[in-house]
Amino acid sequence: MINPFDDIYFMRKALQEAELAFEKGEIPVGAIIVVKDRIIARTHNLTELLNDVTAHAEMQAITSAANFLGGKYLTSCTLYVTLEPCQMCAGALYWSQIAKIVYAASDEQRGFKTLGTKLHPKTEVVSGVLAEEASALMKRFFIERRNLN
C-alpha cells in the first residue's frame, strides 16, 4: 500500500509556509513538526516582522510543538524545514532531542553542517527533499528584492 504521508508530502506543507513568509517580505523559510503523521506546528520565518533574529521558522516550530505536547522534549517528532538549519536552530534542536530532521535546500555558508553544530546523538537527518523547489523560491525572493531596491 502506498503511504501518502511521506517526506515529500510533509515538505510540501513546509513549502506552503515558506510561501507565506515570501508574501510578507520575509526570507522564505517554512517549517512544520509532525508526530505520527499529524502536523502539530506550522511556522515561517518572521525575523523582519517581529524585529527579532531569533524568530526563525524552526525556533517557533519547536516552541509551538512543545506547547502542543505539554512537554519540552520532541523525542517522537520530525521537523520538516525548507532550508538547512543554522547554528542557532540546530542548537535548539539539540536541546529538544528531536527524533528526525528533514530539510530541503542546503545552506553552504551558514548551515549547521558547514559550521559543525552538534545535534543530539539520537537525531536522524535527511536532506535534499524538494531541494530544487525550496532553492527556486529563495532565488526568486532575492531577485525580486534586488529589483525593488
Positions annotated as catalytic residues are: 58
73 contacts a second copy (rule: CB under 8 A) = yes
Is 86 annotated among the ligand-binding residues? yes
Span interacting with a second copy, options 28-36, 67-75, 100-108, 126-134, rule CB under 8 A: 67-75
Comparing CB distances to a second copy, the nearer of 9 and 95 is 95
CB atoms within 10 A of CB 130: 22
Q: Which stretch binds a second copy (CB under 8 A): 8-16, 33-41, 49-57, 130-138?
A: 49-57
Q: Is 59 in the site for a second copy (CB under 8 A)?
A: yes
Q: Does 92 contact a second copy by CB under 8 A? A: yes
Amino acid at 146: R
Q: How far apart are CA 85 and CA 98, in angstroms?
A: 13
Site for a second copy in 95-134 (CB under 8 A): 95-96, 115-118
35 forms part of the interface with a second copy (CB under 8 A): no
Which residue intervals of 29-130 are DSSP H helices?
A: 57-69, 87-96, 112-115
Q: Is 77 marked as a binding-site residue?
A: no
The answer to whether 87 and 111 are in contact (CB under 8 A) is: no
CA distance 24 to 118: 32
Nearer to a second copy, 115 or 136 (CB): 115
Part in contact with a second copy (CB under 8 A); list of ranges 3-11, 20-28, 58-66, 137-145: 58-66
Contact at 8 Å (CB) between 44 and 50? no
Which residues sit opposite 101 in a β-bridge? 79, 125
What is the rounded CA–CA span in Å between residue 13 and residue 32? 7
User: Would you say 19 or 52 has its CB closer to a second copy?
Assistant: 52
Binding residues for Zn(2+): 56, 86, 89
